[in-house]
């Protein structure tokens, strides 16, 4: 990758000095229950509304049992979204 980009390999791992890193341990993570979802979401990042400096991204973990539908309703936030499947497969329908 570094050859194709024409940069030293060390640049791929270089990080800018940023603000303090916040780690939420498993026992410290809050849960959120959305009205249109059957399951609770585990919050993996600090909640924006609780932080003096909101994080650039919020990560929620939702465990979906096999062959279950999360919801038939539209689920959307007012920001960019992504889905990362840790195990199994997910059929996602949009629009």
Residue 95 has pLDDT above 70, yes or no: no
Looking up tokens 């993570």, which residue turns up? 29
Per-residue confidence band for 55, with pLDDT thresholds at 50, 70 and 90:
low
Per-residue confidence band for 17, with pLDDT thresholds at 50, 70 and 90:
low
β-strand pairing of 40-43 with 60-61: antiparallel
Q: Which pLDDT score is estimated for 53?
A: 67
- Whole-Å CA distances, 19 to 23, 38, 39, 60, 62: 13, 36, 33, 22, 28
**More confident of the two residues 68 and 14:** 68
CB 57 within 8 A of CB 45: yes
Sign of torsion, CA 78 82 84 90? positive
Global pTM value: 0.57
In the chain, where are the structural domains located? 23-95
Q: What is the mean pLDDT of residues 19-32?
A: 77
Q: Which pLDDT score is estimated for 34?
A: 77
């Amino acid at each position: 990758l570094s050859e194709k980009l024409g940069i030293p390999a060390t640049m791929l791992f270089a990080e800018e000095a940023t603000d303090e890193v916040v780690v939420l341990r498993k026992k410290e993570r809050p849960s959120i229950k959305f009205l249109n979802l059957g399951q609770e979401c585990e919050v993996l990042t600090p909640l924006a509304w609780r932080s003096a400096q909101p994080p650039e991204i919020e990560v929620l973990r939702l465990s979906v049992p096999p062959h279950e539908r999360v919801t038939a309703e539209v689920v959307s936030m007012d920001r960019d979204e992504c889905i990362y499947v840790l195990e199994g497969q997910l059929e996602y329908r949009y629009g």
